[in-house]
Amino acid sequence: METRTDYIIQVKDLVKTYNHGAVVALNHCSLDVKKGQVIAIIGPSGSGKSTMLRSLNLLEEPTSGEIYFNDVELTSKKIDLNLHRQKMGMVFQHFNLFPHKTVLENITLAPVTLKIQTEEEAKGVALQLLDRVGLLDKADEYPNMLSGGQKQRIAIVRALAMEPEVMLFDEPTSALDPEMVGEVLDVMKELAQEGMTMIVVTHEMGFAREVADEIIFMADGEIVERGMAEDIFAHPKMQRTKNFIDKVL
């Protein structure tokens, strides 16, 4: 039973606990994201931001609650999760490029293995995307020859090569040297302008303010406040949000 909604992602009453309930990482969180929206999740460390993001493609298995992607319930046991994950790109804090594969192989591995593209097509797509992020000349290098900023741009390309409908970013610039943050954020900005649906866990307040349509502020495993970037930064409604914004700005 599928009822069409405008939402690309819906999270209903998500709970995640560890150690048989001793640690509550997410406490009844609900969230919806429309196609084309860019959402930034901010909050102090340990607030459950990453857990929330990683739950969206079920890298974290929720303790309870439901997650819908294009109105398909991912938390149901009846669906083929791998099929839906193909359409949800993910970028990690530590890049997680495959060190035993060249840049090109990193990008083409999934599309070719999953028979979404032929080897020729995948190579074409990969080179085109690499060109876009200015790393065409690195196609045959191995990841350990690249800088952090280059690795992260390639990780973004690897996710994009699957032609995802939504991109999940898990603190994509937190492991980068300061001078490399810009080059990664630029790629993300460009993506946002092209209308990609994006959910970004970030500590880059400038980026959140400039690029995100909406900001979600999380603390202690709860979504405290959600609103337009300007409202959250300039006139937060909740005291906890205000305290955090005061500290980081």
Partner 1 sequence: MFWEWWQSLFVDMTASSFFNFSFLPKYGEAVIQGVVYTLILSVVSVLMAVLPAFLLATMRLSKNNIIRSISGAYIAVFRSTPLLVQLMLIYYGVFSWIPVPNFLILGFIDASRFIPGVVALSLNSSAYVAEIFRAGILAVDHGQMEAARSLGLSQGQAMKLVILPQAIKNVLPALANEMITMIKESSVCMVLGMSEIMFTAQTIAGSTMISIGPYMIAAFIYFLITYPTSKVIENVERRMRRGDKN
Residues at the site binding partner 1, with contacts judged by CB under 8 A: 57, 59, 82-90, 92, 94, 96-100, 109-110, 113-114, 143-144, 155, 158-159, 162
If you compute the radius of gyration of the chain from its CA atoms, what whole number of angstroms results?
Answer: 18
Tell me whether residue 60 or residue 214 sits nearer to partner 1 (CB atom): 60
Q: How far is the CB of 238 from partner 1 (least distance, A)?
A: 32
List residues bridging with 194 in a β-sheet.
none
Q: How far is the CB of 249 from partner 1 (least distance, A)?
A: 31
The Cβ-side half-sphere exposure at 160, using a 13 Å CA radius, reads 23
Q: How far is the CB of 135 from partner 1 (least distance, A)?
A: 17
Tell me whether residue 148 or residue 221 sits nearer to partner 1 (CB atom): 148
Tell me whether residue 48 or residue 236 sits nearer to partner 1 (CB atom): 48
Tell me whether residue 68 or residue 92 sits nearer to partner 1 (CB atom): 92
Q: How far is the CB of 202 from partner 1 (least distance, A)?
A: 18
The gap from C-alpha 100 to its chain's centroid, in whole angstroms, comes to 24
The first and second tokens of residue 63, run together, are: 């303790």
Q: How far is the CB of 113 from partner 1 (least distance, A)?
A: 6
Tell me whether residue 191 or residue 224 sits nearer to partner 1 (CB atom): 191
Q: How far is the CB of 122 from partner 1 (least distance, A)?
A: 12
Tell me whether residue 83 or residue 248 sits nearer to partner 1 (CB atom): 83
